[in-house]
Structure 1
Amino acid sequence: MVDTNLDAFRFSISWSRLIPNGRGPVNQKGLQFYKNLIQELVTHGIEPHVTLYHYDHPQYLEDEYGGWLNRRMIKDFTAYADVCFREFGNHVKFWTTINEANVFSIGGYTDGLTPPGRCSIPGRNCLSGNSSTEQYIVGHNLLLAHASASRIYKQKYKGGFVGLSLYFLGLIPSTSSKDDYIATQRAQSFYTGWMLGPLIYGDYPDTMKRIVGSRLPVFSEEESEQVKGSSDFIGVIHYHAASVTNIKSKPSLSGNPDFYSDMGVSFHYFGKIFDFKFAVAPWAMEVVLEYIKQSYGNPPVYILENGTPMKQDSQLKQKDTPIVEYLHAYIGGVLKSVRNGSDIRGYFVWSFMDLYEIFGGYEVGFGLYSVNFSDPHLKRSPKLSAHWYSDFLNGKTAFLGSQGIKELQSNLSLNSY
């Protein structure tokens, strides 16, 4: 990381590793592992950005009361966050409570594609679930847990920043029709306004409340006040662009309404997401950042993930020109957004090293550094993108011009996960 000139590094703490039963005794070996990592980062002048929850929680809590479907999770998550704040807070000033809160809810409880794999959609390999209601219950509890952890931090620790991260698609209408324009606004409200609305304004978007009706949980007045303003920053995770087409009546596969039928749109992705061929569409990043600025009062933003993968069996893996081209284009899009007034505080590449990807496993790598997974020492080697990014951070590349580089560096930290 020092050789690459990083000034910050984002990583996740595993709740299961730190407190195996979800609450109670802390695993001292897990605690020491994270303390060592954080100390090493700080010693080398690298700012740690910590994510407290990245799709994983102790199985014990899932078995005991259903995990995020139960409001008891709010108390247990807050206690876990409190341990992290207390043990690591001397050196950590940037905290993300929940990673991709919207996609975690949709993937885990609408279509069952991500942990814990719950759904009621026919043909999916889900053992249980209810795709009509569960994602909304989980999303509600995630917001309350985030707000609770944020409040504990401000009461007891202070001195740092607590935010929530969301997955953003760069959305544009498929046609110039009024229907597709309105559908795009509705898709934004469902996909990210679902969480941004409560964080900024204290309640869900009116569109969601009207369509979802009684299936959407309601904030009490006290809860609304707690959630509103609980994020010091919005964490933006962005990879893809899509066009939006209105669907007048989108029946769900099960016959019961679900998140997708509620949203009433179809997405046409640029590039192939599940084949890991991402389109280079930097305008999509600008669309996301402009939407946050215009619709939600221009809150501070950290871009916590942005990148593109390459197949691991590619002989050109080390000469990963597509990754360089992607990062080049998207960082340029970030610069345009900075110039247009978006309050962007930092940018992180996904990812520093090749790692296990939730859909691609070890078959694809987003890393600036490749990892030889068949080597017992897991040898790391810099790819072309690592050299390029290092030069960029050092101001040694003509990319963006010297003025553009200086402007970006003065506005934000450019980093890695």
Structure 2
Amino acid sequence: MRFSVARAALVLAHLFILVTPMAANASQVIIPAPPQLAATAYLLIDADTGKVIVEHNADEQLPPASLTKMMTSYIVSEEIYAGRLQETDLVRVSDDAWRRGGAKSGSSTMFLEARSEVPVIDMLRGVIIQSGNDASIALAQHIAGSEEAFAEIMNQQAQLLGMTNSHFRNATGWPAEGHLTTARDLAILAKALINDHPKHYALYSEKHFKHNGISQPNRNKLLFTDNTVDGIKTGHTEAAGYCLVASAKRDGMRLISVVMGAKSENARAAESKKLLAYGFRYYQTHKLYSAGDELGSARVWGGDPKELVLTIDHDILATIPRGGAKNVKAAIETNANIEAPIAKHQPLGKLKISLDDEVIVETDLVAATDIAEAGLVDRAWDAILRLFEE
């Protein structure tokens, strides 16, 4: 591919102004080392850009305990979205769900009564807020016929989401051989919960839920101490330790933290708080461009008109250290031999955003409009002109 250096230089100067005024004395921003947590594995990401801000053992396969229920609730939401399930549908509580997950099981429970029928939306609250094993099993059986069959759906969904290091054996997170995931995969799942099903994600911020005359608080302590936290889920078994996936939004920036294998209920909350505080203190999510922004123009040989506008078809966001925007640079690469016809949104070059000489975003530059072929005479004249451009 050949590139028009002169044209790129002209547009590049324009892009610098669009991203940030370039300071003559721009220098690298100093960021302190991230906190080291008392946990087996942890991860902090920018939910909008996917940028990893802090990680430790993020790809180590570990038992997730009740963090498993994030996938259970995601599948319930997917079923509702697809029209195969309604929030008002009644779910029958089997004797098996009551025995293994109910009041006498000694595990976290919604206190469902055996053979009762409960609406899907209440069951979903029981899974999310009360971490009910009975509700998780009942929903799994209602959707797939058995918890084993539901686990297969969980694994298929995990692959679709890109959770390549996860394998589920049940809907609850009850210890089982091979029932494992990673901090990174849980962050992927958290993003999907937030972005794909925002209505149901709002349930994760509810602090209490009452069923069968019994009111239980949400086990996520951060909901009660930090009003910017709106989710997500706790988990605990002897094998998994104390776990928490949390998310918070401040000043337009959303972070997701994952802490696995903390020593206590208080510790998982405190360690998660450290991660979130670090991310919000030292980083920002910057919107550099909006979809449809005109970023330059390009010559179209044999086209009518002969110039087209270059744009992007999605917003460009980047996670940048606070105070580091002055070090952001943009560059474009365009094909020097663009020929008509051109279709709207057709890729015609690259936009590269760099921070301190590291490329942090690379995306296609696309045509803003269709460009038709010019008439025979104009095409012939362009062919002659191109001889002098070679």
Q: Is the pair's TM-score, using the shorter chain for normalization, greater than 0.5?
A: no
Larger radius of gyration, structure 1 or 2? 2
TM-score (norm 2): 0.28
By relative contact order (CA 8 Å, sep 6+), the higher-ranking structure is 2
* Structure with the larger helix share: 1
For normalisation by structure 1, the TM-score amounts to: 0.27
